[in-house]
Amino acid sequence: MGERWTTETSMENNEISRMSHVMMSPSRQSNLELAYSLSTYSVIGAFCTEDNVPQCLLHINQELASLGLPVCIEASSPEGANLNAVPVLNAVYELLQIHRRDMCTLEEMEKEQMKKSSSLDLIQMTNSRLKDQLELSIREKSGLYETERQLQLKLKTLQRCLKGEKDEVQKLQSIIASRASQYSHDAKRKEREAAKLKERLSQLLIDRKDKKLAIDVLNNLGRSDGKRSQWRTTKATASHEGEMYKFLLCDYEESQKSLVLENAELKKVLQQMKKEMMHILSPCQPSSRGATADEELAESDEDEKTRDSSRDTLDQSCEHAREQLTNSIRLQWRKLRNHVEKLDNQASQVLHQMESNKDMIPFETHQDEMERMRHEVQQCKEFIHAQQQLLQQQLSTSFDDETAALLYDCYTLEEKERLKEEWRLFEEQKRNFEKERRNFTEAAIRLGREKQAFEEDRAAWFKNHFLNMTPFTNRRRCSSSDGQSSLSIISEPEIRMSVKAHKAKASTYTTFSTPKSSRSTAAPSTTDLYRTLRLIPDCSSSMHSNQVWQESSTNGDEDIRIKSKSRGLHCSDLDIFALGEDDSLT
Amino acid sequence: MNFSELFKQSNQLCKVSPDGKYLATCVQYRLVVRDVSTLQILHLYTCLDQVSHMEWSSDSLFILCAMYKRGLIQVWSLEQPDWHCKIDEGSIGLVSSRWSPDGRHILNTTEFHLRVTVWSLCTKAVSYMKYPKACQKGIDFSKDGGYMALAERRDCKDYVSIFVCEDWHLLRNFETETQDLSGLEWSPNGCVLAVWDSCLEYKVLLYSLDGRLLSTYSAYEWSLGVKCVSWSPSSQFLAIGSYDEKVRILNHITWGKIAQFEHPASIDNTKATVYKEVERRPAVPSDELLQHNIKVGSTLLNTKSKYEICAPPIQIPVVKPDPDRANPKIGVSVLAFSSDSRYLASRNDNMATAVWVWDMQKMSLEAVLEQTAAVRCFQWDPRHPRLALCTGNSKLYLWSPRGCVSVQVPAEGGFQVQSLSWHCSGDFLILLGKDQLCLCYMDAEQEENGRLWRRKKDRK
């Protein structure tokens, strides 16, 4: 009998812990509910009653077998009133194990499910997004298609236009050409007509024998050259031809002479140039081209030869001589060019060296330059400083002293006003604070009194209880209440607290309960409770109030509203604080 | 610089005899001959009508006076004032008359260019040249007077006839490769004849005296072409001014182009000197030269002007020609070489206020004279490299390589110089107004003057 009771209690215990664990409900409440459910359980007897124990056992055994547990629970007595504890416990343990595992897997699966659902969501989202994008791009594509089509249409029309224009141009050109030909034809016709008319006119004039057409000279003049006029004869025409050719010949001769002269001059210049070139080149040749001295020699010999030959043939001025001369000049020129190029290269090298030297040498000059520049910078700085000073002076003098003083007064006045305002605020807050403190003290006193009454009540209750207690009367009720006290001695003040908390405001209760319930299944210690009670509101309130203080000090009347609001909050916090303090005192 | 008093003239007919001794002027129907040095009237001839053309014979002995309206020509002799000659062209009409180079023949072009009549004063003989072409310059005599080139038009083709002036013997007659011949000109040495096409085609042909085609030059196609042509006195260069506002210089050896002078609206050539005429009110007579040369009192009403040297870049005012009108006012229409062939002066028609002087040795722009008014006329001194120009106001402008000067003509009654011509000695200028003329004597101490003319640039 006693054994069964223990199993039951252990089961109950287990259930309690599990419930508190899984359902995450506030333990105090669950405790209370448990007590209630236990009482109802015992009354109704849902599954197993004292009458159907064997059936229950059988059922359970079957169930266990179906679960694959080998253990079977047997009744220790044929009546089935008592059970063999070991297999039951084992079975229970196995079941628990299974259950835990299942829970674990469930949890994992849930997690996985969640993960999967979230990933599914994600995928769906991306899918929808991609769909949107697809739609957008499809729309874009269609738009582009449309524009392309339009452009193609345009192109086609333009091409047609171009073709038309081209045709037009061609037509116009042909028209122009035809017009031009027509015009020229007309012009020619007209001109012919005009010529015919002219002819006719002159004929008519001659036919008419114009009387007026006459020359009236007093006496004939002699020729300007004094000669008599000559008869027109073939001889005369021949002489004219001859004269003309003579004239032309003269002109050509003259021009030729001048050309020859020019040529001779140019040749002379060329010769001189050549000579000078050779003169220039010859001394530097051995030095510049030591390796090819022989070649040079040969070349110079050749030059000499060509020069001689050219000199010989200068008078003949035949093609050959000219060629030779030009060739030799060309040769010389090439040499000279090479030489000049070399000189150029040398010069550039020298220049380069000079430059490189320049980089090396002027360290001192560089230093000097740096020094100079530093000096300059210093000067500039001084200058700037002086300017700044002058500027400031100018600025300060631009305000006269009176205005400056006035301004200063203004500033101080403003400052004073501000300070006064702040002082006022501070005073008000101080007053409020004082008031609150008084309230707290009153509340503390009241609480103390209530506590004393409560203590007295408890003492009376204990005494009453002690006096009334008998082992076998009202056992169940007793076991439930006593079991609670015996099983969880640590949770006793907690229960008390919860009872008290029922008296307190609901909001504060929830704020307290959540942190506690999130803790381990083991009942919280009093120190923990105290800490949660004392520290959390304490910290938050102090911080909050501080902040409010600061805010009110900086801001205007809008903050006063906030402050008053916060004061209410503050009050409640302090209430709790006082509660905690009270508890810790007890 | 001195100025003579004003003399009357009409039709701007005023010419100095080729020997430089006499000055002939026409006043209505009277012909007045003066001695150049004294300006005294030597002879006075009375013509039958108002003279429309007057010309000295080459030997300075005879003067031809043409009255085109009447188709009449009268010739006067200086040596024998009572000698007279009258040629009547009759009902056929007369449009142009000129002396032959020998001074014994007169060439008359009849109306409608029916023919050219050659009248001999020696024999009274008449000869005709048929089919003369009506064009810009259809007749040209070689400088020595030996040959005459005549442009002809027959069967819608252009021909050139070359005559020997001595007896009007037809030396050569050849067809030219032109669409519509516009002008011809002998080279100063008389050996080469330059022939150019009408403005519709850029084409210049060079013929030898014996009719051989020496060269053809065409700078571009499909655009208006040659506007004027000028030989250098040395026959070395042929300058061609065209509608594209450029002058092209051909040489006499290869007849190829050796230089091209452009007339840009914006001058940024730093080597050229740009003289800009600046007008101002006569409040402050500052220029020493002007003060020195101009008689005080006569110029008070006129605005004074002087030249300023401008630093490039300089904008020359450009008048855009009307493209719908024939003969658009664009392109180089006047070209003149100085007597020593050293300089070439040109005028671009759409920049009528500017005269451009080019150095033919450096083949570059030497100077630009930007006037306040459009340039009417310019002529080189026959002796010195000196250019005189007028713009239709009362001032005379002179340019020489040493500088530039503007001279107020100190004549009363608003004498405005319309055109000018140099005396063959280069000693004086004849300035022609609307119906008056005035002689402008260059100072004998010209060098001194020249010193004053020194470029203002040097003074700066």
Question: What pLDDT score does A213 carry?
Answer: 64
Other CB atoms within 10 A of residue A8 CB: 14
Whole-number Cα distances in Å, A495 to A158, A333, A500, A535, B246: 96, 124, 8, 21, 121
- For residue B154, the chain A residues in CB contact (below 8 A) are 195
Which of helix, strand or coil describes residue B107?
A: strand
Whole-number Cα distances in Å, A536 to A386, A517, A542, B175: 63, 15, 10, 128
Which of helix, strand or coil describes residue B376?
A: coil
- Among A residues 198-237, those touching chain B with beta carbons less than 8 Å apart: 198, 201-202, 205, 210-225, 229-230, 232, 236-237
Asked if residue B120 lies in contact with residue B108, where contact means CB atoms within 8 angstroms, the answer is no
Q: Say yes or no to pLDDT of A427 above 80.
A: yes
- For residue B252, the chain A residues in CB contact (below 8 A) are 255
**DSSP secondary structure letters along B163-216:** EETTTTEEEEEEE-S-SSEEEEEE-TTSSEEEEEE-TTS--EEEEETTS-EEEE
**Hey, is the C-beta of B214 within 8 angstroms of any chain A C-beta?**
no
> How high does pLDDT run on average in chain B?
87
**Hey, is the C-beta of B208 within 8 angstroms of any chain A C-beta?**
yes
Which of helix, strand or coil describes residue B440?
A: strand
Residues with Cβ within 8 Å of B112's Cβ and at least 6 positions away in sequence, in order, are A198, A201, B93
Hey, are the CB atoms on A217 and B85 less than 8 Å from each other?
Answer: yes
- For residue A259, the chain B residues in CB contact (below 8 A) are 253
Q: Of A129-133, A307-311, B69-73, B307-311, which one has max mean pLDDT?
A: A129-133
Task: Name the pLDDT band for A533 (thresholds 50, 70, 90).
Answer: low
Length of chain A in residues, anyone? Answer: 586
Question: What pLDDT score does A176 carry?
Answer: 92
Residues with Cβ within 8 Å of B102's Cβ and at least 6 positions away in sequence, in order, are A223, A224, A225, B58, B145, B165, B166
**Hey, is the C-beta of A251 within 8 angstroms of any chain B C-beta?**
yes
**Hey, is the C-beta of A266 within 8 angstroms of any chain B C-beta?**
no
Q: Say yes or no to pLDDT of A51 above 90.
A: no
Q: End-to-end distance of chain A based on CA atoms, in angstroms?
A: 41
Length of chain B in residues, anyone? Answer: 460
Q: Of A96-105, A434-443, B89-98, which one has max mean pLDDT?
A: A434-443
Hey, are the CB atoms on B122 and A222 less than 8 Å from each other?
Answer: yes
Asked if residue B194 lies in contact with residue B205, where contact means CB atoms within 8 angstroms, the answer is yes
Q: Say yes or no to pLDDT of B417 above 80.
A: yes
pLDDT in tens, B226-266: 999 999 999 999 999 999 999 999 999 899 999 999 999 99
Mutual angle of helices A293-313 and A234-288, in 10-degree steps: 160
pLDDT in tens, A375-397: 999 999 999 999 999 988 887 76
Kindly tell me the burial class for residue B89, based on how many C-beta atoms sit within 10 Å of its own C-beta (0-12, 13-18, 19 or more): buried
Q: How far is A166 from chain B (nearest CA, A)?
A: 21
Q: Say yes or no to pLDDT of B207 above 90.
A: yes
pLDDT in tens, A558-576: 444 444 444 444 444 444 4
Question: What pLDDT score does B335 carry?
Answer: 94
Q: What percent of chain A clears pLDDT 90, i.e. is strictly above it?
A: 23
A176/B179 Cα distance (integer angstroms): 18
Q: Say yes or no to pLDDT of A113 above 70.
A: yes
B441/B455 Cα distance (integer angstroms): 22
Q: How far is B331 from chain A (nearest CA, A)?
A: 26
* Burial annotation B389-401 (CB, 10 A radius, 16+ → b, else e): bbbbbbbbbbbbb
Q: How far is B345 from chain A (nearest CA, A)?
A: 27
Size of interface A-B (CB pairs under 8 A): 110
Hey, are the CB atoms on B119 and A215 less than 8 Å from each other?
Answer: yes
Hey, are the CB atoms on B114 and A198 less than 8 Å from each other?
Answer: yes
* ipTM of the prediction greater than 0.85, yes or no: no
* C-alpha closest to that of A181 among A189, A170, A171, A169: A189
- Tokens encoding A532: 């949660």
- Among B residues 290-309, those touching chain A with beta carbons less than 8 Å apart: none
**Hey, is the C-beta of A258 within 8 angstroms of any chain B C-beta?**
no
B252/A381 Cα distance (integer angstroms): 75
Interface test with A, best of B164, B186, B222, B252 (most A CBs within 10 A): B164
Q: Say yes or no to pLDDT of B412 above 90.
A: no
A24/B90 Cα distance (integer angstroms): 146
B82/A467 Cα distance (integer angstroms): 192
- Tokens encoding B252: 């006499």
Question: What pLDDT score does A224 carry?
Answer: 66
Q: Say yes or no to pLDDT of A292 above 90.
A: no
Closest chain A residue to B111 measured between Cα atoms?
A198
Q: How far is B154 from chain A (nearest CA, A)?
A: 8
